[in-house]
């Protein structure tokens, strides 16, 4: 599936999405609603497929006959509050003193959890009221007891970010759920 997304072969992927897919918490379910959502969204189908690719590339685990990805959700420790923590998803991810790539590097972290002090927005409001995607996003984190710094959003992932559940249907794996948030 990852290869098909990277090649832009969205038809192949769409054929592996269950017709009753859950992609929100509430009122929007099913493939036809999902197609409508793609038309309305800022990033369209490409943005949604990119989120699916990122979730799958992180891997997952098999749970009760389903495959759940990414691992940052499927194997998240119960003792850590999902809304307040994130997984460091890269090796030697830098912790900066300030939210600036040129600031001092306080530490490097690898494949562990951090407490998120503050999530920064992915979009910035312009003076005309429109929003543009931020080029670089930093989140403030606590990485050791009372040590605080800033990490790139691309280096950490919340367990409640996009996540998927796949099940076998007639011998083929199908995406049944793909949601973010709670």
Put the strands of the sheet holding 147-152 in their side by side order.
105-109, 93-96, 147-152, 138-144, 113-118, 85-88, 156-157
| Helix, strand, coil percent content, the chain, rounded in steps of 5 | 25, 40, 40
Enumerate the CATH 2.30.30.40 domain ranges in the chain, comma separated.
85-157
Residue 161, both tokens:
């970010």
The confidence score (pLDDT) of residue 27 equals: 66
The confidence score (pLDDT) of residue 71 equals: 96
Residue 67, both tokens:
């495959």
CB atoms within 10 A of CB 158: 22
Peptide bond into 147 cis (omega under 30): no
CB 96 within 8 A of CB 104: yes
The confidence score (pLDDT) of residue 158 equals: 96
The confidence score (pLDDT) of residue 181 equals: 86
The confidence score (pLDDT) of residue 28 equals: 66
List of the chain residues with pLDDT < 70: 27-28, 40-43
What pTM does this model have? Answer: 0.86
* Top CATH class, 85-157: mainly beta
The confidence score (pLDDT) of residue 47 equals: 83
CB atoms within 10 A of CB 18: 16
Residue 145, both tokens:
């007891």
Kindly tell me the burial class for residue 161, based on how many C-beta atoms sit within 10 Å of its own C-beta (0-12, 13-18, 19 or more): buried
Q: How far from each other are the two terminal CA atoms of the chain, in whole angstroms?
A: 25
- The angle at the Cα of 163, spanning 158 to 165, to the nearest 5 degrees, equals 150
The confidence score (pLDDT) of residue 132 equals: 83
């Amino acid at each position: 599936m990852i290869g098909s997304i990277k090649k832009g072969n969205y038809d192949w992927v769409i054929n592996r999405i269950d017709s009753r897919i859950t992609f929100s918490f509430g009122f929007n379910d099913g493939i036809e609603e999902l197609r409508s959502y793609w038309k309305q969204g800022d990033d369209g189908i490409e943005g949604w497929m990119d989120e699916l690719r990122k979730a799958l590339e992180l891997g997952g685990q098999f749970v009760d006959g389903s495959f759940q990805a990414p691992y940052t959700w499927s194997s998240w420790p119960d003792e850590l509050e999902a809304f307040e923590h994130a997984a460091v998803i890269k090796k030697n991810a830098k912790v900066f003193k300030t939210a600036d790539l040129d600031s001092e590097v306080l530490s490097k972290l690898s494949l562990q959890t951090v407490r998120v002090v503050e999530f920064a927005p992915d979009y910035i409001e312009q003076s005309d009221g429109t929003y543009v995607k931020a080029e670089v996003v930093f989140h403030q984190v606590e990485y050791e007891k009372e040590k605080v710094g800033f990490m790139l959003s691309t280096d950490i992932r919340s367990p409640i970010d996009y996540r998927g559940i796949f099940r076998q249907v007639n011998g083929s794996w199908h995406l049944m759920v793909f949601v973010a948030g709670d």
